[in-house]
Structure 1
């Protein structure tokens, strides 16, 4: 069994803006700072447990490029508070969990099928995983309304988050 946390792996959520005032907003990279990824290569199986209250703003992004200093500390605090309280409702749903049901090898990696429990809703999810040098990389798109999550809106909806977010994982390939 391989158990990984934020000391060796990263989990990021990419959030994209839309709406009439989207030009004044920023896309965001959020980092999950508390999680456990348990991989059993013998089974094979994967269980990921993430603390949604640990999401932190890593950076604002424009056209795929990080914008250091684009957000004031007050903005970051407001974003993180809105994610925790209004979007993910972390007091009510303190854990996000993915548990695989099947792992199928494919060229350059694996297709991992499983169930994702997020904000009190469990849905099937297929996550393609690929080997990239000494790392394994995974990415999955989540449609927030599928999990009962209303995408964040501000300024009477003129600035809002797109319903789809992208979750990315990077972990050491050692032992896989």
Structure 2
């Protein structure tokens, strides 16, 4: 290939990588429509009468997923952090059970404070963030077909280890999930936090890549969560008992 052509190709690749939108959405392209009002989460199959349930408080809860760049030209791209602040679900402290879910199309992409907390040093532009969000929802996760991510967890013998069935992209995998739990003395509020590494390919997801893999998203992703759950006496079928 003539030298001038190689330089032109490299310049084009660098522009694409720097923008982090190698396949930017075409004019008029739209993301999966956001729900008008998400339906209430169905009661867990393991719910029993009289068992105290704490309901997740989305305003005090956060789940983040960090994905990192890979490939020979990784230095020209960005790592990314996506976050859910709309978790819904329940926790049953006594039997050590929890079930919650969130919508992919309600996740934020690259909030400045979360990028800083994750130690990400680059600063993607607004256009790059919009392109990343489009690629994530449409080209990678097929969020219109698989809008929800759900997690059903149960204590696995040890006080601080749970088995969690994670359903993403229509595929369910069971993982060991270390969890730190802090519970109020009256049992009416708790906070659970933890993190783990997952692979996109384990859920049938092909990590985003272009230029023959010279720019790619690493298969491994880092999931971290901080979930607050509290008693909700007004919730139908909550099993809450003020005397407990």
Asked if these proteins are the same fold (TM beyond 0.5), I'd say: yes
2:73 alignment partner in structure 1: 21
Give the unaligned 5+ runs of structure 1. none
Structure 1 CA distance for aligned equivalents of residues 210 and 111 of structure 2: 19
- Structure 1 residue runs of 4 or more that deviate by more than 6 Å after TM superposition: none
1:162 alignment partner in structure 2: 218
Q: Which has the higher helix share?
A: 2
Structure 1 CA distance for aligned equivalents of residues 162 and 110 of structure 2: 27
Aligned-pair RMSD on alpha carbons? 2.6
Q: Which has the higher strand share?
A: 1
Give the unaligned 5+ runs of structure 2. 1-52, 184-189, 232-244
Structure 1 residues 154 and 113, CA gap change in structure 2 (3 angstroms): same
Residue aligned with 1:140, SS? strand
Structure 1 CA distance for aligned equivalents of residues 81 and 152 of structure 2: 24
The match for 1:113 among 144, 156, 163 is 163
Structure 2 CA distance for aligned equivalents of residues 138 and 163 of structure 1: 20
Whether contact under 8 Å (2:86, 2:102) holds in the other structure is: yes
Q: TM-score, normalised by structure 1?
A: 0.85
The structure that has the greater radius of gyration is 2
Count of aligned pairs? 171
User: 1:85 deviation in Å?
Assistant: 0.7
Q: TM-score, normalised by structure 2?
A: 0.63
User: 1:154 deviation in Å?
Assistant: 3.0
Q: Does 1:139 pair with 2:195?
A: yes
Structure 2 CA distance for aligned equivalents of residues 151 and 120 of structure 1: 16
